[in-house]
Amino acid sequence: MNNSSLTFVLGGAKSGKSEFAEHLCSRNKRICYIATGVVKNPDGEMQLRIQRHKARRSNKWITREQYQHVDELINNSQQDGYLLDDAIMLVTNLFYDLVLEKTAPEKIDDYLESASSQEIATIRERILNNWKKILSAVRVSEQSMVIVSDEVGLGVVPATKQTRILRDLYGEANQLIAKEADSVYFVISGIAQKLK
């Protein structure tokens, strides 16, 4: 990982993208691993996944389990680099936080079905602005970051309004990050192809 660089690593589920991203970061440097998959009530299988991810990390790395205020984390700490895994979970968690500002958990489906295009646009804008702040913080800090994300545009059109809204948000966030990135990789079956 070079100084002041932004690397974006995309791939499907179990494509090897996280392991590839980890190999881009020096095991001998102070890397802050930002785990955005903050699980409030993890089941046994999810706990096992988290443990496997943690076991792969260097003991010189620190882990921050958060998806909010990532820009502040970058602005207020000095590391040799950052690895954010992953962008999709960050978008998902922010999305539901914003929806829950408007409705109760058991009414999310009903709220989104009846939400106006303006309400959805406001949520979209807040999430993309969050990403703009993160990307700006990386540039201003002159620290390096690797961002991992799922490529979600290769499947069928989702059946529900909620999943279509999320799919579109994922795609827009991925495009925003890819545009700002110095290098972009797409990982398929453990093989990384450089796109940019």
Q: Which amino acid is at 190?
A: G
> What is the CA 190 to chain-centroid distance, rounded?
19
Please count the helices (runs of H) and the strands (runs of E) in the chain: 7, 7
Our answer to whether residue 69 is catalytic in this structure is no
d(CA 31, CA 77): 11
| H or E element, residue 103 | none
d(CA 61, CA 106): 38
d(CA 109, CA 122): 18
Catalytic residue among 29, 30, 49, 53: 53
- Catalytic machinery residues: 53
